[in-house]
Chain A
């Protein structure tokens, strides 16, 4: 996928973009629907996300994150902008010189592809109660308070499950160093 993105960035390669569009678009649409958009709006937002990918492909730097992670961040920002939550956001870098140079995560010995695979594996191995809070946060876009209300749990329990889930995922990455 990073390869497709590089072809888009370097050669404005439309065939590569079409592949990206077909493989990511329906997932981004699914994400937007889980975030509360109806099917037609979700499709608009997914399209907007992929067009943003097209316009910004030259800013993608492979060793800073996988293509999937980068597209997730764009989808999340499009969702925040368009679903009118007006959340001030940490802007994505607008040029290469704004790319953080000393911020490679500590597991830098791994290739980005390996890291993404490890994260997915660690995610799949989370105990159900931790996986649940991660999904409600990332996929459904619920705040800690909303998750607590939905699950009938104290706020502190929701937060500690989030923290433990993240520590496990981190540990999964650090094993490989």
Chain B
């Protein structure tokens, strides 16, 4: 897997700062799990966080120092995380694995228009997170309306004016870039993890997608 499309530096910084809205953070974390280059950048940006924290004026504790904590036995406490056995770890990046109850092959897709399906993922923070599946020959619908949006390819590939996006690639495009992604590979559908900052209005969207996808 060679990743050619990465997260923007500004997105990475916001992620390292813990300030990225939840839906975008989910996609960023999933990409980082697949991308050594972005993990390296995040590590450097966390260093900036350390420096910023070190520069804060300390606020003295009001309460007396608590009794020292005792070491926990290995594997106890919050270090262990239950994992769903059914999850196909290889295909679903680990940071978002807990949002999936099953493999990508068993997702209950919702039909949005010819060749386009989606599946909302449960997330209570800011923004909206979902999977999008697009059949070969169809376009990826435009969904962001003013808010930031990150699209990570989990399976298959799509193509637009900025290049080809395959597994691990993330589209972190400036709001001003007009692009028209299309799934060209005959090999199969393209499945993406899409995080957007602004909640979408789906009913109007379906109608617009009809118009859009019918052009292909």
Contact = CB atoms under 8 A, between A and B. Distances in A.
Interface of A: 12, 14, 17-18, 21-22, 25-31, 33-34, 39-40, 42-43, 46-47, 51-52, 54-56, 64-66, 68-73, 75-77, 79-80, 85-91, 94, 100, 102-103, 105-106, 115-116, 119-120, 123, 134-135, 137-139, 141-145, 155-156, 158-160, 162-163, 166-167, 169-170, 173
A55 B148 contact: no
B49 A39 contact: no
14 contacts: A25-B61, A30-B56, A30-B59, A55-B72, A71-B53, A76-B17, A86-B124, A90-B33, A134-B48, A139-B52, A145-B147, A155-B148, A162-B10, A167-B9
Contacts of B1: none
B96 interface: yes
B18 A80 contact: yes
Interface string B36-77: 100110111111111111111111111101101101100001
B36 A123 contact: no
Contact of B29 (A68, A90, A170): A90
Contacts, number: 205
Nearest to B95: A88
Interface of B: 8-10, 13-14, 17-22, 25-26, 29-30, 32-33, 36, 39-40, 42-63, 65-66, 68-69, 71-72, 77-79, 81, 94-96, 98-99, 123-126, 147-148, 174-176, 197
